[in-house]
A and B are shown apart, each in its own frame.
Chain A
Amino acid sequence: MISVTYRNKRWSIPGNIRVRDLVRTVGLNPETVLALEENKLVHEETMLGEQAEIKLVAVVSGG
């Protein structure tokens, strides 16, 4: 399973999924987050294996 964290939330998602689809699976808009794996930016079309650990970072700020 892929481990996904975003702010204080955590999900386990079945592997072999593209980053963009993973973001939508957890209910987020891919335009509003970036995916990091081991602190490196991961492209939205990258296929993720079962062991991936992904941190999603919100891009929206201000008010």
Chain B
Amino acid sequence: MKQKRCRHCDEPPVISMRQHKLALCEAHFVAWVHEQTLRSIERYHMFEQDDRVLVAVSGGKDSLALWNILLSLGYQAEGLYLDLGIDGGAGYSDQSHRRILEFQQAFWPDVTLHLLNLKDTYGESLPEVAKRTKRGLHKPCSTCGLIKRHEMNRMARELGYTVLATGHNLDDEVAVLLGNTLRWELECLARQSPVLPADSLGFARKVKPLCRLYEREMAAYALVSGINYIYDECPFSTGATSLYHKQLLNEMERQRPGTKLNFYVDFLRAKKHGRFQSERTKELQHCERCRQPTTSAGICAFCRLWEK
């Protein structure tokens, strides 16, 4: 039987991207991931070489891979780790922080990593504040999202970065897209984008350079690059709807390669042609306490979390 070869050389392939009918060896796969990321940065006008990019890192495969790729491509990319104080019986946040420090020391020891510890800054960890408030009473995921969005935006602005980059991959994006479609969340569909522009009210520019790369490709990239990421999912993610949506989409992908990519790319195309235009139902204003943009009158949902 004829042995399969890498598309570009005689080496055996380590991965096939069935949606692209493409099989690559380790070296060509790493180069391909870099090239695809660069293509997305350019295609969606995410940022330029002279931008200062703050990469939100969690210790997982996607964010560490993104940080590595941006630095390898020559961008000015520095890291931000938000320590939420999640234990989950295994010191989840501590483990995540350790993996980030190990990565930084091994790959880019001279690059800055900012650390923000939620408990040190606001007096309570995520599980503590979630337990105390109505929003997070049953599951802290919604509180977690709120805290991360607020604090990443604040840090990016205060530290003078022009762009905030997150490691959302294509599977993350299509899981959100499927969820929003199933509920016909038109406002959310209108906002879902590889780039959210900065505005004068105080939102930093937000970008997702891995938005066209499959989660499987990002895990493979981290493994072949020797990035020791945290394999475990967040202990609070058990039973999360987005994981169920990912499972459904992966079943479709198994039977019809390219389903996920086509779903996302066709959505972006439809958006570009004005299919999902939606006005904000509420006007943005500054929070009276933190001065960040909010649709709430008075103080924002983040500041309300800390009122006891």
Is B236's CB under 8 angstroms from A63's CB? yes
In Å, the complex CA distance between A43 and B169 comes to 22
Is B250's CB under 8 angstroms from A63's CB? no
Task: From the candidates A29, A34, A36, A43, name the one contacting B250 in the complex (CB within 8 A).
Answer: A29
User: Does B234 count as interface, using CB distance less than 8 angstroms?
Assistant: yes
Chain B contacts for A61, CB-based, 8 A: 60-62, 215, 233
In Å, the complex CA distance between A32 and B255 comes to 13
In Å, the complex CA distance between A40 and B224 comes to 7
Given the known inter-chain contacts A31-B254, A36-B223, please indicate yes or no for A62 contacting B243, CB distance below 8 A: yes
Number of interface residues of B (CB under 8 A): 36
Chain B contacts for A59, CB-based, 8 A: 215-216, 218-220
User: Does B72 count as interface, using CB distance less than 8 angstroms?
Assistant: no
In Å, the complex CA distance between A62 and B223 comes to 18
Chain B contacts for A41, CB-based, 8 A: 14-15, 26, 220, 223-224
Chain B 205-241, CB-CB to A under 8 Å as 1, else 0, gives: 0000000000110111001100000010110111010
In Å, the complex CA distance between A58 and B237 comes to 15
In Å, the complex CA distance between A16 and B281 comes to 60
In Å, the complex CA distance between A40 and B171 comes to 24
Chain B contacts for A60, CB-based, 8 A: 171, 215, 233, 243, 246-247, 250
Minimal beta-carbon separation of A32 from chain B (angstroms): 5
Given the known inter-chain contacts A31-B254, A41-B26, please indicate yes or no for A63 contacting B233, CB distance below 8 A: yes
Chain B 240-262, CB-CB to A under 8 Å as 1, else 0, gives: 10110011001101100000000
Chain A 37-63, CB-CB to B under 8 Å as 1, else 0, gives: 000111111000000000001111111
Minimal beta-carbon separation of B32 from chain A (angstroms): 14
Is B16's CB under 8 angstroms from A34's CB? no
In Å, the complex CA distance between A57 and B233 comes to 12
Chain A contacts for B15, CB-based, 8 A: 34, 41, 43-44
In Å, the complex CA distance between A40 and B25 comes to 12
Minimal beta-carbon separation of B233 from chain A (angstroms): 5
User: Does A15 count as interface, using CB distance less than 8 angstroms?
Assistant: no
Minimal beta-carbon separation of A36 from chain B (angstroms): 7
In Å, the complex CA distance between A29 and B233 comes to 18
Chain A contacts for B172, CB-based, 8 A: 62
Is A43's CB under 8 angstroms from B4's CB? yes
Q: List 16 A-B contacts (CB under 8 A).
A: A29-B250, A31-B216, A31-B251, A32-B216, A40-B14, A41-B14, A41-B220, A41-B223, A43-B4, A43-B23, A60-B171, A60-B243, A61-B215, A62-B233, A63-B233, A63-B236
B interface list, Cβ under 8 A from A: 4, 12-16, 23, 26, 60-62, 141, 171-172, 215-216, 218-220, 223-224, 231, 233-234, 236-238, 240, 242-243, 246-247, 250-251, 253-254
A interface list, Cβ under 8 A from B: 29-32, 34, 36, 40-45, 57-63
